[in-house]
Structures are given as structure tokens and as C-alpha cells.
Amino acid sequence: MNSQKKILIITYYWPPAGGPGVQRWLKFAKYLPEFGWKPVIYTPENPSYPLLDESLMKDVPQDLEIVKTKIWEPYQLAEKLNKSNKKFKAGQFDVGKNQNWKSKLSIWVRGNFFIPDARVFWVKPSVKFLEQYLKENKIDVVVTSGPPHSLHLIGLNLKKKLPNLKWIADFRDPWTEISYYKHLKLTKGSDKKHRQLESDVFKIADITLATSYTDAENFKKNGANAICITNGFDQTDTSTETLKSSNPQTLKPKFTLSYIGVLEQLRNPENLWKTLDNLIKTNSDFAENFTLKFAGRIDDKILSSIENSSLQHHILNLGYLSHDKAVSEMQTSDILLITNFPNESSKGIIPGKIFEYLATGKQIISFGPNDADVAKILDETQAGKHFSYEDSEKIKEFILEKFDLWKNGNLVENVQNIEQFSRKNLTKKLVEILDS
């Protein structure tokens, strides 16, 4: 069908990469053809992914055109220097008293030598390759998706060379506003360079996409033509057939609070663990019926501190699971936990998994700064409650209220106003922007 318009999506993360960063453009690519747009993917041939998930391959359309070129990344070097540098690839690192001198040095090198990030060596060869590709192929829109934000520099340089190019910069996370930015130990010069590059992207991209309402507002203040398209859930992922085929853990039913995903030190809800520890010590009924389930990668230091409390005999730690299996573990839970960075500047982060949580109809308990965008979504969908990292008594009330409902068989699934977050409807929203 020649009438189809073409969109070139420049993304570092693509299946078999795992984690939430992959799914945004994978799902857009899946649904775009239904709206008359043909996606083409440009991605590295030999990337260094922190997580792999083969189950996402089934969402890659059969006839999708994927263009790949080689990338050089200094990570192998960094991992030789210090094993824990592996966390960097996932935007994680030790903080505060958990840092040794090697961690500090690695963070300093990362922040000051590789601006904006360690994938920056892919920028020049990609610009050269894509300038030629765009001259030979009719592409209507180019999208760059970051992090890694160095991919926006590919868009920036292409736009300078080909001014008529329509370029959309998609920020799955903010750049200088992200919570760990201030932990990067940047020199004044490096900080200035990061901010200048970000500002250039905001001002030169035709459209900047944000994944949260607050991010879109912040980007606008910094000169971007910003629009919010959140992440979402895909109905086909939560269909009964998909779930049956992935066999969730079936144990004697317990009141189960689950965390699905990666949990690092910067967003560890210590007040929740204390509350649960206290409930187990003081409430024998709760102690008898409670399970704390983890599916994903939980920081070792968080895990060992939980294992040294009364919670130790209540933990079910399943480790990293494929996306399909993770979704079915959500279904066999009663409360789903989501955490965000505690600082004010993170209130615009909407973790991608909240939408999959919403699709299950289960209750959600959320931690993060006050007035967070997540709280807005939970209010609108009546799907749970958001707490700050200072709350404790209110958390106890919330958990006991749900536990009593569960015991009496009255903890019902509740889903309201979630259609707006389906991947298909979000793609429709994207297409309205592409066609404008």
C-alpha cells in the first residue's frame, strides 16, 4: 500500500532487550499500520542490554523493516573496573554510604566523559548513515527515543543537515531533571554542556513528547513544543490466553503484596517494610496469611535488610521474569506496589508498569513525592492510594482495610476510565500528532 506514510524510529532499546523502555515504541510500531503509518526501526546491531526478554519478540510485526548499524560502547571497559558498573546500564548505582571509591570514580567518569551518556559514540556514524538513508528513502517523520539521550543528538544533527525533516524527540525520562542527574558528580562545565544540548533538542525538535503531564509542562518551560503521551497497557498482553500459557505460581491463596520490576536504593519504601514488619509482629492473623512477592531485580542491599526483619519468612522472590510471566504474577496478587524517587522533581515520573497494574484491576499502593502524576491517575481510576515516604499510620490503615476485605472475600477488582491508556488509543493519539 503506497499511500502509507513512513516513520523512522531511532531507538537503542529493541527486542530482545527487556524492561519497560522497550515497550513504548514496540507497541507504537505494532499499532501504527492500523492508522496508515509504516514504521521503520533504526537500532544498534551489537548493543549492551542490561536485561533480555525473548517474550517481547512476539510483538515485533513480521514484515517490519529494521535497519541496524554497529555501536561501540565503553561499558565492557567500565565493568572490568568495577562489577557493580553493570547497574549503570539500567540507570542504577549505589548511593550514599553504599558507595566505595570505585563506584565514585565510575560515576564521575560516566557523568563527565560521556556526555550525555556512554552511547554517544553511535551519534556520528548514525548521522552519516541516516543522512544517506533519508536521501534514498522517503521518510515522513523521524522519531528519536531517549534515554539514552545521545539518540536525540542524532535527530539534532540530522535536522541541521536536512531542515525540512519533521523530527519528534521522545523523552521516556527527563534528561537534566531526572532524579539521579544530581548524583552524577558533574563539573560545572559538564553540567553546562548537558543543559545546552538538552536546550538545543527542545528548541529544534518540531515536537517533544513527554510520558507524564508534569514533564510536558517542564519541557514547555524550557522552550520545547511539548505534548504528553503516557505509556499504557496492551489488551493482548493481559488476555486470558496469554496468562494461561504462562503459568503463574499457584500456592495456597495468601494475601499477596507484589513488587514487579527493578527496585533500586533511590526509591526504596522503607516505611512500607517497617509497617509490614510491625503488622507481622502485632497481628497473628495477618502474619499467618501474608506474602510479599518480588518478581524482577531487587537491589541486594534492599533485599538483605528485608530478610533481616520479621518479613524474612514471608518473602517469595521469583527473580527476573519474562514480560508475559511478570504480567501473570500481577494477576495472582492482591496489592501491587509501585515506587518513585522521593524528591519533588520526580513527581512527573509515571512508571510504565502502572498501566499494566491498572489493566489487572488489582489495588495499587504507590510511594513518591506529594502531588505526583501517579496520584492523579490513581484518583481518576479509583485504583489505589499514593503515599509519601514519610507516611506510616495511613499505610497501615490502607493495608489492613484491604486485608479485611480479602479475608471476607470482598476485595473486588475495580477498573474505571482506563481505556484512554490502552496502547491502541495512545497510538491513535500519536497519529493525530503525526498527521497535524
Res 332: pLDDT: 92
Cell numbers 519497560 correspond to: 20
CA proximity to 71, closest of 10, 24, 113, 29: 10
* pTM reported for the whole predicted model: 0.84
Q: Write out pLDDT tens, residues 103-154.
A: 777 777 777 788 999 899 999 999 999 999 999 999 999 999 999 999 999 9
Res 89: pLDDT: 44
CA proximity to 110, closest of 129, 84, 131: 84
| Residue ranges for the chain with pLDDT beneath 50 | 1, 84-93, 240-251
Inter-axis angle of helices 123-136 and 150-161, nearest 10: 40
Res 108: pLDDT: 75
Amino acid letter, residue 224: A
Instruction: Provide the greatest CA pair distance for the chain.
Output: 70
Sheet holding 363-367: strands in order across? Answer: 315-317, 290-295, 255-260, 335-339, 363-367, 384-387
User: Three cell numbers at 64?
Assistant: 517490519
Res 246: pLDDT: 45
Amino acid letter, residue 231: N
Q: How far apart are CA 185 and CA 112, in angstroms?
A: 8
User: CA Rg, the chain, in Å?
Assistant: 22
Res 81: pLDDT: 53
Q: How far apart are CA 284 and CA 264, in angstroms?
A: 31
Q: How far apart are CA 217 and CA 157, in angstroms?
A: 25
